[in-house]
Amino acid sequence: MATNNSVTNIAGVLSAITTTIAFSNASAVSIGTLPANAQIVDINIDTTTAFNATTTNTVTVGKTGTAAAFVAATSVTSLGRASVATTGVYSAWADTGSAELDATVTFSQTGTAATTGAARVTIVYKAFA
C-alpha cells in the first residue's frame, strides 16, 4: 500500500504589523490593518519598560470592537517577551474573516496608576488571496 506524504505548497510570505503602547495610553492603540482572510501565525508582546501599576498591568490584542479577540489579558509587569501560550485566542487566529480589520492593543491597570511602562506588539500573519 502506497502512502502519499506530499505537502501542498501554499506559497506566499509572512508579513507583520507592529506598534508600541505606553502606560499613558487610555484607549486602544491601532497596530495596523490585517487583510481579509489573513491567518495569524504569532503575536509577540515585548515589554521594553516594565509597567508599574500596583496591582495589575495587562494588555489585550484584538480588533476594533473586540479588544481581546486575539489575546486575552496578558501581564506586562516584567521586562521581556510575554507568553501568549495560555492567553492566545487561537481559534480566532486561523482566519480573521472576509473583510480587512484594524488590529488593536489595549493596556489595562488596577491599583495605583502606572507611572512607567512601554511595550511593542507585533502580529505576524500570512495573507491568502
| Average of per-residue pLDDT across 4-13 | 59
Q: What is the pLDDT of residues 79-129, one digit of tens each?
A: 999 999 999 999 999 999 999 999 999 999 999 999 999 999 999 999 876
| Average of per-residue pLDDT across 44-50 | 98
Q: Where are the domains of the chain?
A: 15-126
Pick the closest to residue 82 from 30, 122, 52 (CA basis).
122
CA distances 43 to 7, 39, 81, 109, Å, are 26, 11, 10, 21
Asked if pLDDT for residue 1 goes beyond 60, the answer is no
The correct answer on CATH 2.60.120 for the domain covering 15-126 is: yes
